[in-house]
Amino acid sequence: MGVLQPYPLQMGPVLEIDLDAGEHLTCHYYNVPAAEGGSIVVTKYTCQTEIFVSEVECQIYEDGATFDLLHWNVGDGVWEAIDTQVTDGVGQITWVELAGADYGLEEHDGAWCELTTNPVFGPGDFFTLFEDEETLVSVYNCDGVPGDPGDTPTKYPNTGTPNGRDENRLQP
């Protein structure tokens, strides 16, 4: 039909596409086995505030941050780094095929002001991954400068009203 199709075309078991006369559609189906074990998905944010207020004040960090995945060694009673990864262009790292256990993160060249998990665990930098489940971890770095006075406008646009003010608007 000469139109660009969205990606993905359809989620779920049914795909409906209208074809005009003479058009062809080629489909490739892939059966990808599900990963065994649990997974941890880390998303890195940088915030424009000095302390964490809410995710609204933050944006995904796209420049690559390095994290160590830590695992609790029960026998030795210490946290051990078991893998090191760098976040991708959408600020994420995904570790898959992990056994259910206690895990933690350590960020290279950064200190976070807030770490949240889903499912939610108590306060702290460590969390539990349940067998064959997924844990989402959000890491927030509060290193922005709030309210930069240089961003405040000093000249306002002409709105066509006397003195640039709307006289019909109630004034506080």
Q: Which two tokens stand for residue 83?
A: 């893998």
Boundaries of every domain in the chain: 38-146
One-letter-per-residue 3-state SS of the chain: CCCCCCCCCCCCCCCCCCCCCCCCCCCCCCCCCCCCCEEEEEEEEEECCCCCCCHHHEEECCCCCEEEEEEEECCCCEEEEEEEEECCCCCEEEEEEECCEEEEEEECCCCCCEEEEECCCCCCCEEEECCCCEEEEEEEEECCCCCCHHHCCCCCCCCCCHHHCCCCCCCC
Architecture of domain 38-146 in this structure: Sandwich (2.60)
- The string of pLDDT tens digits covering residues 19-43 is 888 888 777 777 777 778 899 999 9
Lowest pLDDT segment from 59-68, 89-98, 151-160, 163-172: 163-172
Of residues 119 and 123, which shows the higher confidence score? 119
Of residues 137 and 169, which shows the higher confidence score? 137
Residue % of the chain over a pLDDT of 90:
33
Cα 10 to Cα 28: distance, rounded to the nearest angstrom: 13
Q: Other C-beta atoms within 10 Å of 116: how many?
A: 15
- Asked if residue 149 has pLDDT above 60, the reply is no
Residue 162 has phi, psi (to 5 degrees) of: -60, 135
